[in-house]
Amino acid sequence: MASILSVSGSPSPTSRTTRLLRHLDDRLRRQGHDVTPLEVRTLPAQALLGADFGHPAIVAATALFEQADGVVIGTPVYKAAYSGLLKSLLDLLPQYALTGKTVLPLATGGSTAHVLAIDYALRPVLSSMGPSHIVPGWFTLDKDITVGDDGSLTVASSAATALEQVTDHFSRALGGRTAVLASTG
């Protein structure tokens, strides 16, 4: 199937955003896709903030974008926009790094007041990078994401259903199988 890059723009090592993405990564793998996770916070801060395009870690991250058929971009919402950490990576990518790719934007946040951050802050930047298709994204409230002491993730049923739908739409756009999930949801 398709090769997917799953990018977390969260600066937190205990991020709900990252855990939610890894949960969705598993769903995409069950649909037959090859998923590569990328946590922007693991890239060297000096390279990101110093705009070091030639740093080996930045070159490697750029190559991951080049190799992917589809990209999932996940971010927490801060100040009604996507994270500055994600912005620093997007700024270092080539102008048309998403050319020919299908993109799924996802965001998490503490208030429904930020639900439009995907469409008004993130989508325009992603669109400027030349993707062939940006599927409808989804905003998930932090209160709908619970992480257990063992690291397990639980998503409130209404949010889980919506996330499954947007993830499956993304998968279909890439040519994925969604029928296999009826029993593994």
User: What are the pLDDT digits (tens) for 81-124?
Assistant: 999 999 999 999 999 999 999 999 999 999 999 999 999 999 99
End-to-end CA distance of the chain: 19
Q: How far is CA 2 from CA 18, 32, 55, 99, 137, in A?
A: 21, 8, 28, 15, 19
Q: How many CA atoms lie within 13 A of 87 on its CB side?
A: 11
User: What are the pLDDT digits (tens) for 126-156?
Assistant: 999 999 999 999 999 999 999 988 888 999 9
Could you tell me which residues are beta bridge partners of residue 141?
Answer: 109
Whole-number Å distance between alpha carbons of 30 and 110: 30
Whole-number Å distance between alpha carbons of 108 and 78: 9
Domains of the chain: 3-181 (3.40.50.360)
User: What are the pLDDT digits (tens) for 35-82?
Assistant: 999 999 999 999 999 999 999 999 999 999 999 999 999 999 998 999
Helix pair angle (84-92, 56-67), 10° resolution: 80
User: What are the pLDDT digits (tens) for 2-15?
Assistant: 999 999 999 998 89
Give the pLDDT mean for 152-179.
89
> Could you tell me if 89 and 61 are in contact, meaning their C-beta atoms sit under 8 angstroms apart?
yes
Q: What is the pLDDT of residue 179?
A: 47
Q: Which two three-digit tokens encode residue 66? A: 């080049």
Q: What is the pLDDT of residue 52?
A: 97
> Could you tell me if 158 and 15 are in contact, meaning their C-beta atoms sit under 8 angstroms apart?
no
Q: What is the pLDDT of residue 183?
A: 41
Q: Which pLDDT band, with edges at 50, 70 and 90, does 177 fall under?
A: low
Q: What is the pLDDT of residue 178?
A: 59
Q: How far is CA 6 from CA 56, 149, 160, in A?
A: 20, 24, 18
